[in-house]
Structures are given as structure tokens and as C-alpha cells.
A and B are shown apart, each in its own frame.
Chain A
Amino acid sequence: METRHIIMLITVAIIAIIPLALYGGLGEDDGYFGGADGAAAEAVEETGYKPWFEPLWEPPSGEIESLFFSLQAAIGALIIGYFFGYYIGKGKKKDPITNLKYKTGDFE
């Protein structure tokens, strides 16, 4: 992994950490770190609108909700990891059609 990729990933982490530091000590009860989707739904309900259709099924608790969120991330990460691993492994062999070695060198 190149240094620039590591720097990019660290930047992503910093972007996530800044708000945590900025609003340190504040929680959902103070109106922080709630979902933007929920905030939009509240704004809609303030207009007096009543949703006409309920979700068919709702996760019964935050725990169950986090179960499905981690499942979603795990499915994605598994697929990405599988194909990246497959091609990096395959890259050490030759392409049967072109008989050329796959490039596995550094991007630069």
C-alpha cells in the first residue's frame, strides 16, 4: 500500500474524528449525532404530515439494527476482499490468454 493511500485513509479517519472532538461530551439527548434522515423526517412531521405507510418490519432495538448494519458492511467487505485477494494471488501467475504476467507492481 502506497504512502499516499495511507495518508488518504488517515484523512478519512480525521474527518470522522473532528466532529467527535468538536462536540465531545454531547450526546443524542442534547440533539447531537442523530441521523440526518431522522432530522428530515421530523421536519416533515412538523408540517403536520402523517406518514401513510409503516415499514413492513422494523428492527426491534438498536442492537438488532446494528446487527444488520454490520451484516451489510460485512457482505460488502467480504466481496471486495475476495476479489482483491483472488486477483493479487492470480497476478503472480500468467494470464492464460495473453500469456503476459499481470501487473502487480506499484501504481506509481
Chain B
Amino acid sequence: MHIMEGFLSLEWSIFWYLLSVPVVIYGIFRIKKITQEFPESKPLLAVSGAFMFVLSALKLPSVTGSCSHPTGNGLGGILFGPAVASVLATLVLIFQALLLAHGGISTLGANIFSMGIIGPLFAWLIYRGSQNAGLSLAISVFLAAFFGNLMTYVTTALQLSLAFPLPSFGAALSNFMLIFAVTQIPLAIAEGLLTVVIIEKIIQIRPDIFERLNIFKIKSVEDPIIEASK
């Protein structure tokens, strides 16, 4: 999903920075707030970031014959929401841009937007939706991480098609979708499974933190006191 250094025009680079930077700044405030209210959530935050570090370092072969990598952005998205996940993704992407020449500083905004914002946003929404629909935790987490991963790559394909609509936007999109999204499907399944394993392990060792984080997020929607006072 990395758009390489210099592969977006200056205008598009600035455009994606303008969309991503406010979310990352908001994410930093969210991290401050969450860790103040629940200091116990700090290790989970570290594990979410670390999970992204590990998974995005694992380049896996896919059935299309090319290699790509999972993103690890589903875990942070599910636990903390997209804004916090965008901060974690920023750290990973800066590491990769500076030390690995994967992605780049000019394309950092665009890459944060796909891996740090849209992916975790879908993961977060799908997890909430699946839980509200009464699906089991494992299925909800799997779907969330699967789509978090896939939507990251769909976003990259869209970003490149917007920047290079040649010969037409549609033709460019199908080309980039073939390169990114199709390759990604088996890897998204792998990421879904890995995310289920790590979340179930977290619940097993610290059910208290997970419940508190979860309650914290669901509160605004389902708190019976708030509902009754309306």
C-alpha cells in the first residue's frame, strides 16, 4: 500500500497531508485523554502499535504471484478507533520511509490516509456493526481486520487512480485494483485470523482492560441512563 517517494505530484501530496494531519493531531489528543482516564490502557496501546510494526514487516506471497504485506491496523482500529490508529500508523510509516525507502516523506500523508485512517475506520465501524448485529467476538474481529486491511489497499488504488487517471480513471482504477486489492485478499484473511488470535489472547490475560475500553466506547450509544434521560 506504500505509494513510493515522489510518486504523487506535489499537489496531491499536499492534498493528502491536509486530510491526514488533522486526524493525526486529533488522535494525539485522544491518546492523551484515553491514557489519562484509563492508565491501564497504555500497554494495549503499545501492543496495538507493536502489532502494526510486526505485521507490516511481513511481506507475504499472494496467489496473484506478487508479494504484499498485512497492515496490522485492524487491532488499533477496533480497540481505540481510527484517530488513535492513525498516530500508530504514522510511526510505522515514518520508520519505513526513512530506513527502508518504503513509502516516502512526500507521500506520507497519502499513506497515513489509507493505512492509518480509512483502514482502521472500516475496522472500527465493522467491529461495532457486527457486535451490534449480535455476531460473535471472533467473527466481528475477523471481519473488521479483513476489511481494515482490504480497504487500506482499495484506498491506495483509488489514490493512484485519482493522481494518474490514464487513459481514464476507470481503466486506471481497475489496473491498480488488480495490482493491490486482488493480491491483498488472501493476506487480508491471514490478517483477520492473526487479529482474532491476539485479541482473544488479550481478553484472556486482561479481560478487565478490554471490557473497560469497550464499555467506554459503547457507552455513548447504549448507556441506559443516557437513553432514559432523553
Contacts of A25 in B (CB 8 A): none
B131 at the interface (CB under 8 A from A): no
B59 at the interface (CB under 8 A from A): yes
Q: Mark B179-208, 1 if CB is under 8 A from A, else 0.
A: 110011011011001101110110111111
B66 at the interface (CB under 8 A from A): yes
CA distance A17 to B156 in the complex (A): 26
Contact count band on B: 35 or more
Pick from A34, A40, A71, A107: contact of B200, CB below 8 A.
Answer: A107
Chain A residue nearest to B99 (CB atoms) is: A68
Whether B46 contacts A79 by the Cβ 8 Å rule is yes
Whether B54 contacts A54 by the Cβ 8 Å rule is no
Pick from B47, B50, B197: contact of A9, CB below 8 A.
Answer: B197
Contact count band on A: 35 or more
Contacts of A34 in B (CB 8 A): 66-67
Give the segment of B6-14, B23-31, B220-228 that binds chain A. Answer: B6-14
Whether A41 contacts B98 by the Cβ 8 Å rule is no
Chain A residue nearest to B201 (CB atoms) is: A84
Interface of A is mostly: helix
Contacts of B47 in A (CB 8 A): 79-80, 83-84
Contacts of B67 in A (CB 8 A): 33-36
Give the Cβ gap from A106 to chain B, nearest Cβ, in Å.
Answer: 7
| Chain A residues at the B interface, C-beta cutoff of 8 Å | 2, 5, 8-9, 11-12, 15-16, 18-20, 22-23, 26, 31-37, 39-41, 43-44, 47, 49, 51-59, 65, 68-73, 75-80, 83-84, 86-88, 91, 95, 102-107
19 further A-B contacts with Cβ under 8 Å, apart from A15-B187, A40-B180, A70-B57, are A9-B194, A15-B186, A19-B61, A22-B65, A23-B61, A36-B183, A39-B66, A40-B156, A51-B5, A55-B101, A69-B57, A69-B100, A72-B92, A72-B96, A76-B50, A78-B50, A83-B47, A106-B204, A107-B200
The 4 closest A-B pairs by CB, nearest first: A76-B53, A51-B6, A76-B54, A79-B50
